[in-house]
Structure formats: structure tokens, C-alpha cells
Amino acid sequence: MAASTRLQVRAMVMCLLCLLSAPSLVAARSYGLEATAVADGVWVVEGTTENFSPANGGNIVNTGFIETDAGVVVIDTGPSRRYGEALRALIARHSDQPVTHVLLTHHHPDHVFGNQAFPEHTLYMLPRGRELLARDGPAFAENMYRLVGDWMRGTELVVPPNTLSPGVLTVGTRRLRLMAFAGHTGSDLVVLDETSGVLFASDLVFYNRALTTPQTPGLARWAEELQQLRTLPFRVLVPGHGPVSDGGAALAQMADYLSWLDHALTQAARRGLSRSEVMQMAIPERFAAVAGRRYELVRTTTHLYPGYEKAALELLANPEATPGSQ
């Protein structure tokens, strides 16, 4: 009796609080996702090229979905539960088909933290990506709560139960070619819809947005894989971050940026530059359109420059330990 009264009072207080604060909060925290058709039955939901922030709620990523006559295939679920739910509602506005496959390209938080909005049995990932997500997911989640705040409310890590293997995935009459790469995170899924010629390159390609390197096995590997992407028969290229295009300029910019970065870090290490000097080094004018380049250079220097430094320094023997030196 007393307890239920207390609950009622608490409920009333909560409602009052809701009434007072709801309009501004709700308006501020809607992603306002929109789907752009890039081919017949293929849509892309484009995010900004900014960094994670409380203003964008982590919507800095491109997701997509493909309609088949046997269900909808989704590519990546976005940065939060709220995003995933908005994406699912958006899909329902464009297709009557149920979602049968959610293909998660890699384990970065902006691509997989909307998983909760989809039935678990529809979630698929490459085996290595799944392992990486199970390992790094909790730390990523903590970081996301810190970086984008309340947008993450209710978001929990869901590791997909199903694994993918490279090859052709046929859904209805669509043939999706699944390819496993590693340049960005060690496990990067690329999806080519052979029916429409749309290539979902995910984060192997950043366009007009500086690439991110915390998990890359190395820039040389990444550059090599980019060459392989160039040979694929696509008409439309969807990068993980940045605008959709026919792909020519995007791949050229990406290859140019990768090779500049690799070369600049190698040269800096050979000249003995310190890490903070490298973080401040000049970025060529031709990359003026690449958003976030200085910020990502600071991060990349932290992640990768120590390896370049190590290669440029020689192992010094202990003079005391050299036989016959006494």
C-alpha cells in the first residue's frame, strides 16, 4: 500500500520532469536519418564526416540496406541503440520485406552499436571481426558513452551469433560478393552487390574524411588492398565515411593519402623527428578537402609512428657485454 503510493508519487514526479524537459531533449536527440537510393533497391544512410560528439550522437558513419525478394540485407547498424532503432524504422518505410541479414563490416563502435535493434539471429560478421568485437567492444562502449553521452542510453554490446565466410551470398535473386580484407582493423568486410554494381567498401575507404588507424595492421597492407578494390566491377562506391560516388576520385584520394602518410612518417623517422614534431608537420594543400586530417594525424602518430621510429633506429649493443672489450 505504502509502496504503491510511493511509486505513484514517483511516477507523477517523473511525468512532471518529462513534461518540463521532454520537448527540448527529444528534439535534440533524434538522428533524423534519411535514406538515399543509390541504385534500384539499394539505399545509403549517410552520416557526417565529423568526429564523435554529443552534437552528432555518433552519426558519423554510412550505413545501407539492400532489398531483395526474400528479405532486406542491412550493412552496419550505426553507433547506438537509438540509431539502430531509427535505421530499422527507416528501412520499414522503404520496404515491406523483413530484415533477414545484417552484415557487420568491422568491429568499430560506429558500425555495430545499433545491433540491439535487430533480431539477433539476423546478425552476421567475419569470424575474426567477431573475436575483435568481443575483445574490444566493452572498452569501445565505455569510450562512446564518454564521447557522445546520452545518445548511447540503453546501448549494449551485441556480438553477432552468426559468422560469414568470403564468397557469394545469394538472397532471393540478389548475388552479394563478400570479401574479407584487413587493412583498416584486421578484419574488414567488403560487400559488392553484383546485381546493382554497388560496392560497400566500408572503412577501407574514407572519402573527404581522414582515415583512422587505431587497429590497422599497417598502411602498406591497407594500400595494397585498396589496389584490389580498384579491380572490382562496381558502378557506385559507398565509403564507410564520406560521400557516395562512382568511386574514381574516392579511391584516388584514399591511395594518395595513404601513400603520403606512409612516406611522411618514414621520412620523419629517418630525420629523427620527435612525435610531437610529427603531429605538427605540414599536410599537403591537396588534402584540404579531407576533414579531420590534423586530428587524425595526431592519433595516427600515436598509433603508428613508434613502429616507424623503431625501424629507423639501430639496435645498440652494450659495450660492457661485448667479449674482449675489457
Partner 1 sequence: MGRWIAVTLMLLTGLARAAALPDDPLRSPMWEYNLVRYLGDEAQVVIDDRVALKVPGFAEDSAQVPLTVDLSAFPGPIRQLVSWVDFNPVPLLFKLTPEAAQPRLIALNFRVQQATAVRVAAQADDGRWHIGSADVDAAGGGCTAPSMTAANPDWQTAFGTIRGGAFSPVPGHTRFKFHTLHPMDSGMVGNVPAFRIDDVRLHDLASDRLLLRMRLAESAAENPMFVFELAGERRAVRLWMRDNNGNLFERELALGEGG
Q: Where does this chain bind partner 1 (CB under 8 A)?
A: 143, 146, 271-272, 274-277, 279-280, 298-299, 301-303, 306, 309-310, 312-320
As a whole number of angstroms, the longest Cα–Cα distance in the chain is: 91
Q: Helix, strand or coil for residue 293?
A: helix
Find the shortest distance in angstroms from Cβ 245 to partner 1.
30
Given the rule CB under 5 A, which of 6-14, 102-110, 125-133, 171-179 is the region that contacts Zn ion? 102-110
Residue 203 interacting partner from Zn ion, partner 1, none (CB closer than 5 to 8 Å by kind): Zn ion
* CA–CA gap between residue 170 and residue 167 (Å, rounded): 10
Q: Which is nearer to Zn ion, 97 or 187 (CB)?
A: 187
Q: CB of 24: closest distance to partner 1 in angstroms? A: 27
Closest by Cα among 42, 164, 155, 154 to 102:
164
Nearer to partner 1, 94 or 303 (CB): 303
Q: Report the relative pairing of strands 63-68 and 71-75 from DSSP bridges.
A: antiparallel
User: How many residues in the chain?
Assistant: 326
- Residues 193-222 binding Zn ion (CB under 5 A) are 203
Helix (H, G, I), strand (E, B) or coil at 94: helix
Question: Residue 128: which of 102, 158, 164 has the closest Cα?
Answer: 164
Closer to partner 1 by Cβ: residue 282 or 315 = 315
Closer residue to partner 1 in complex, CB, 105/212: 212
Binder among 81, 88, 101, 108 for Zn ion (CB under 5 A): 108
Closest approach of Zn ion to the CB of residue 109, in Å: 9
Q: How far is the CB of 292 from partner 1 (least distance, A)?
A: 13
CB of 319 to partner 1, least distance (A): 6
> Is 120 within 8 Å of 99 (Cβ atoms)?
no
Cα 131 versus chain centre, distance:
16
**Segment near Zn ion (CB under 5 A), from 85-93, 106-114, 158-166, 276-284?**
106-114
Is 166 or 214 the residue whose CB approaches partner 1 more closely?
Answer: 214
281 grid coordinates: 608537420
Of residues 286 and 310, the one with the C-beta less far from partner 1 = 310
What is the C-alpha to C-alpha distance for residues 231 and 192, in angstroms, rounded to an integer? 12
Cα 287 to Cα 8, 100, 302, 326, distances in angstroms: 60, 40, 21, 56
Q: What are phi and psi of 31, to 5 degrees?
A: -70, -25
Binds 275: which of Zn ion, partner 1, none (CB < 5-8 Å by kind): partner 1
* Residues 292/209, Cβ–Cβ less than 8 Å: yes
Residue pair 192/42 in contact by the 8 Å Cβ criterion:
no
Taking the complex as a whole, the smallest distance from the CB of residue 9 to partner 1 amounts, in Å, to: 39
* Closer residue to partner 1 in complex, CB, 163/274: 274
One character per residue 13-52, x = contact with Zn ion (rule: CB under 5 A): ----------------------------------------
Task: Name the amino acid, one letter, at 300.
Answer: T
The cell 601513400 sits on which residue? Answer: 259
Residues that bind Zn ion (CB under 5 A): 108, 203
